[in-house]
Chain A
Amino acid sequence: MASAAHVDYLLRLGDNALILGQRLSEWCGHGPVLEEDIALSNIALDLIGQARLLLAHAGSLMPVPQTEDDLAYLRDQFAFRNFTMLELPNSGLEKGQQQRDYAFTIARNFLFSVYAVEQWTALSTSSDVQLAAIAAKSLKEARYHVRHATDWMLRFGDGTDESHHRAQAALVALWPYANEFFSTDATEADTAAQGIGVTGASLRPGWQATVSSVIAQATLKEPPPSHFSSTGKLGRHSEHFGFLLAEMQSLARAHPGAQW
């Protein structure tokens, strides 16, 4: 019988993939160039595939088993466990901004996918056999996501004045939300002790080394550390999350039990 912490940990992994997958899907048909439209759609597809595996696994371990669809479409805000960074709108955080912001999207992919590589590498030896298998697979895909994101960070940073300025602004806006990746809480401590999970804190040095290196190569400036910590993984989400869920869930909720 899986512990509540074990299930909670799996939901965090699955929800990260689902919510970022949802945000990247919003670019489908709206990419700045065709190759990037395809790239983001493919990355979203990888993430949604990972979400399916993770949520199905989490659901199978619940006291009353849930399917991946139950979890994706029928949970309310407080039950989702993704990092707040991943639910932020593609238009960024500046007031009144309506247009999708490519630098913001890429910078977010950069910060998260570097973390994902560290995380999946560590989880490839999880004592949860199914999680270890999902991790080994997700790692291969995350590495391609990192390559795509870092390529663009370098092009933006070491590019034109405008691309440099936008990339820098995106980093500054996103940076405080990265703290949540590394804050340890009971769920992480618990599952790490059981050999199931890893603490975010243990992943920080690897993440920091890669991120600092890419930022420097991109001629960008690393934002100063902040004390802000978002709380999405605890089920306390930003004001953006309700809108995301409304769009993601409305069709399924309007037709409960419908099959394609």
Chain B
Amino acid sequence: MPIDQGERKARILALLDSVPDPEIPVISIRELGILRDVLFDGDAVEVIITPTYSGCPAMYAIEEDVLAALAAAGIDNARVRMVLSPVWTTDWMSVAAREKLRRYGIAPPGPVPRDEQGAQVVKMHFVKARAPVLPACPLCGSPNTELLSEFGSTSCKALYRCVSCREPFDYFKPY
């Protein structure tokens, strides 16, 4: 890539770093791993994003926010393209992003459980002694938490309750 294009790309990526996730405004789409690349087609700018959950309605808002951010910076000839592969995973979330989540009151995702081949596994059977992965309470830090609902306020989150401080909290599920 010619030097000026490389610089252009870096500037646009930095600009788009200011676009937050619509549901979790403390993290940017870049930190979440949704923003994947910026390509050039002559004068036109093409922003590549990867969707999270298949039905995630926030992706519309993200697309609009990206175009709005570019337009505000004077870049009108832009489009957003959704690319499914490589598939988005919470493993792409940076350590800094996880800490921001926790401070916002959302327990960050644990590592995606994988087998020896690296393929993702999800325990299929109910374990009588509660779900094996218990996130720590993002409010008081206690490990003594319990699952309220596998599906929370959004597809990506589950609902837990802290047994110590009795506050409910969202958990960002490993994906």
Contacts and interface: CB of A to CB of B under 8 A. Distances in A.
Interface of A: 35, 38-39, 41-43, 45-50, 52-53, 129-130, 132-134, 136-141, 143-144, 146-148, 150-151, 154-155, 210, 213-214, 217
A134 B84 CA distance: 7
Interface string B146-163: 001111111100010000
B56 interface: yes
Interface of B: 51, 53-57, 84-85, 87-89, 120-126, 148-155, 159, 173, 175
Given A35-B159, A132-B85, A136-B84, 9 more contacts: A39-B151, A46-B54, A52-B54, A52-B55, A53-B84, A141-B54, A143-B124, A147-B122, A217-B125
A134 B53 CA distance: 11
Nearest to B59: A49
B125 A45 contact: no
Contacts of A139: 120
A213 B87 CA distance: 30
18 contacts: A35-B149, A38-B151, A42-B151, A42-B154, A43-B151, A52-B54, A53-B84, A134-B84, A136-B87, A137-B84, A138-B54, A139-B120, A141-B53, A141-B54, A143-B120, A144-B150, A146-B124, A148-B151
A213 B126 CA distance: 12
A140 B126 CA distance: 18
Main secondary structure of the interface of A (DSSP, over half): helix
Contacts of A213: 125
A38 B153 CA distance: 8
A50 B126 CA distance: 26
